[in-house]
Every structure is written in C-alpha cells, then in structure tokens.
C-alpha cells in the first residue's frame, strides 16, 4: 500500500500577475492513486505539447538559441540531445513577443474543453514556475520532496525517473507545473550541484540580485522569463546538460542519454552527480560504493 500524502491536499500555483493562490483539490491518500492520476495528466500533456510545438512561430529556435548561447555564427549548435529538450521548453515558455509566449497565444486562440484533462494541464502551464529546487526527501518509485529555493515553499514532485536516481541535498534547475495536487517537471531538468557548491551559490546570489527588493512571486512574466534565461544559460555554460540521463519506469538507473519530450515520452530527467568526486571516492549518492562503480559508471 502507498504512503499517505494527506499533507499535500492543497497545491500552490502562481498567477501570471505574480499573486499566489491555493487550489483546493481532492485528497489522494495513497501513492498508487497519485501515480495513476499523474500518468493520465501526463498523457494529456503529451497531446497538448504536440499542438503547442506545431504553433511555435518561425525562427523561434534561432531566437531561443541566441538567448541561451546555443546559436553560434548563425548556426544552432546542440552538443547533447538534452539541450534540444531544454531549448524546446524555453521556446514554449520564455520566448515572448509583445509580452506573450506561445502557450498563452495558443490557448487564447484554441481554448480546451472546460473541465477536461487538457484544460487542467493548460491552466497549470499558465502558472508554471522556473526555479532552483533542492531535493529534501525521496519517495522511491513516486517522486521527490523539493524545496523551491527562490520562493521557499516545499513541493512534492511526482517524477518516477527522478525518484530512482535523486540524491538528497542535490539542487536542480527546472520548470514545475502543478495540475491539481500533482507537481510535475517539464522539459529537461538541469543539475546544479549540492546547495553549498560554488555553482549553486552563484545562481542563488544572481537570482536574488536580479529580483532586488521584489519577491519572486511578484516579478512580472517578462522578468521571470529573463531570470529563467540567465539560470538556464549559466547551467548550460557549466555543462549541466551533459549530466542528464533518462530512465523508463521500472528499469532502474539510467545507462545512457536520450531525448525527453516536455510533458511526454520517457520519465523526466534523472539527475546524475557531477564529476567532482574522484573515481575511487565514495559516491555522493550515499550508497557506500565507490563513485566509479555507482553513478560514475552511468555515463
């Protein structure tokens, strides 16, 4: 039987104008029910994602690639397949024309049927948040408890792949949507490092300097997109996309890298520790094995 998750009967989301609201949702008392609903919503997300991609404006990948430092001499250079997933997610959410992104433009022109699963996903896309999340606890086979380091709140992120490889205390940069009670990652999550690592400290200090005296909840959509741009660009510059792998539910630790479609396809990104540990050092995941025989063998 699953573990009770009664404490997650409310789910915080962010309005586009920056105001926080709380959505009351039906109680899900077992992880099994939570995962079942997650899979249904993920399928709905896959269908909606395909429609959104078809409605991306011309040259958007060049525009997004330029912003993220991936366009070099007018050529889009993607060193890993995971960078394409990051770029796709970025173009959908953060490339704005006249302050409007592809998601808002599509949903305005083609609103989904009210009350449908697609409508639930669509509403959550409007209130998606990009942030730095520290993993505080892990529910194997289900998801992780992750602290939003910019806003301070704790989310339960349903992510079967991530739950198989996550390391407590590790920080990831990712975008979260929250349909109903279920927080879900979109696109590709980028590993940052442990909370005290120079890379993480630099990103946090940069984000706080960018926001100034304004709470992150109160930043305009345009400013949040600019903040997302700076975080993603810095992560890519540090080679974060090279430390992302994917797993299929039930197949254990990842053995190779693959393409992860936003809201679709395989389980979302599983984060591998960086290469700071020596091959004969203990693995940072706490397994007790040497790094070379644990996560260091996954590349």
Tens of pLDDT, residues 137-148: 999 889 999 999
pLDDT above 90 (res 85): no
| 176, β-bridge pairs | 129, 185
pLDDT score of 296: 57
CA distances from residue 37 to 66, 135, 143, 149, 205 in whole angstroms, order as listed: 37, 23, 13, 27, 37
Contact 87, 78 (CB under 8 A): yes
94 assigned to some structural domain: yes
pLDDT above 50 (res 14): no
Long-range (24+ apart) CB contacts under 8 A made by 70-75 are 70/236
* CA–CA dist 270, 191 (Å, integer): 9
State the pLDDT confidence band at 280, using cuts at 50, 70 and 90.
Answer: low
248 assigned to some structural domain: no
4 assigned to some structural domain: no
Strands 129-139 and 170-177: antiparallel
288 assigned to some structural domain: no
289 assigned to some structural domain: no
276 assigned to some structural domain: no
State the pLDDT confidence band at 273, using cuts at 50, 70 and 90.
Answer: very low
Overall domain count for the chain: 1
Q: What totals of helices (H) and strands (E) does the chain contain, helices first?
A: 8, 11
Both tokens of 5, joined, read 């998750």
pLDDT above 50 (res 74): yes
| 183, β-bridge pairs | 157
- The alpha carbon of 69 is separated from its chain's Cα centroid by a whole number of angstroms, namely 20
* CA–CA dist 217, 165 (Å, integer): 30
pLDDT above 90 (res 216): yes
Long-range (24+ apart) CB contacts under 8 A made by 64-72 are 64/90, 64/91, 64/94, 64/95, 67/94, 67/95, 67/229, 67/233, 68/229, 68/232, 68/233, 68/236, 69/233, 69/236, 69/237, 70/236
Summarize pLDDT for 160-214 with one digit per residue, the tens: 888 888 899 999 999 999 998 789 988 778 999 999 999 999 999 999 999 999 9
Summarize pLDDT for 219-259 with one digit per residue, the tens: 999 999 999 999 999 999 888 766 555 444 444 433 333 32
pLDDT score of 161: 84
| % of the chain residues with pLDDT over 70 | 70
pLDDT score of 133: 97
Q: Which domain holds residue 169?
A: 31-243
SS3 186: strand
pLDDT score of 189: 86
| 146, β-bridge pairs | 135, 155
Both tokens of 17, joined, read 């104008």
273 assigned to some structural domain: no
Instruction: Report the predicted TM-score, pTM, of the whole model to 2 decimal places.
Output: 0.74
pLDDT score of 279: 61
249 assigned to some structural domain: no
Summarize pLDDT for 153-163 with one digit per residue, the tens: 999 999 888 88
Query: Mean pLDDT over residues 254-269, rounded?
Result: 35
| Residues whose CB falls within 8 Å of the CB of residue 214, separated by 6 or more in sequence, listed in order | none
């Amino acid at each position: 039987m699953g573990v009770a998750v009664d404490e997650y009967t409310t789910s915080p989301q962010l309005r586009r104008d920056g105001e926080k609201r709380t959505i009351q949702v039906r109680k899900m008392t077992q992880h099994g029910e939570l995962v079942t609903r997650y899979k249904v919503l993920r399928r709905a997300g896959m269908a909606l994602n395909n429609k959104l991609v078809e409605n991306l404006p011309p040259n958007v990948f060049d525009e997004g690639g330029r912003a993220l430092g991936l366009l070099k001499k007018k050529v889009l250079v993607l060193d890993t397949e995971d960078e394409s997933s990051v770029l796709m997610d970025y173009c959908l959410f953060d490339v704005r024309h006249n302050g409007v992104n592809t998601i808002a433009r599509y949903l305005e022109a083609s609103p989904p049927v009210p009350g449908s699963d697609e409508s639930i996903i669509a509403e959550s896309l409007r209130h998606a948040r990009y942030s730095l999340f520290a993993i505080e606890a892990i529910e194997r086979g289900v998801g992780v408890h992750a602290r939003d380091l910019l806003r301070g709140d704790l989310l339960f992120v349903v992510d079967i792949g991530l739950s198989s490889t996550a390391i407590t205390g590790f920080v990831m940069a990712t975008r979260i949507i929250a349909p109903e009670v279920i927080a879900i990652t979109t696109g590709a999550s980028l590993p940052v490092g442990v909370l005290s690592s120079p890379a993480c400290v630099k990103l946090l200090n940069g984000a706080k300097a960018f926001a100034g005296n304004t709470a992150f909840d109160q930043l305009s959509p345009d400013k949040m997109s600019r903040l997302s741009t700076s975080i993603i660009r810095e992560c890519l510059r540090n080679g974060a996309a090279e430390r992302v792998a994917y797993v299929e539910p039930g197949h254990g630790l990842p053995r190779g890298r693959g393409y992860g479609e936003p809201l679709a396809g395989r389980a979302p990104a599983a984060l591998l520790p960086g290469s700071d540990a020596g091959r004969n050092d203990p693995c940072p995941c706490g397994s007790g094995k040497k790094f070379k025989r644990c996560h260091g063998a996954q590349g």
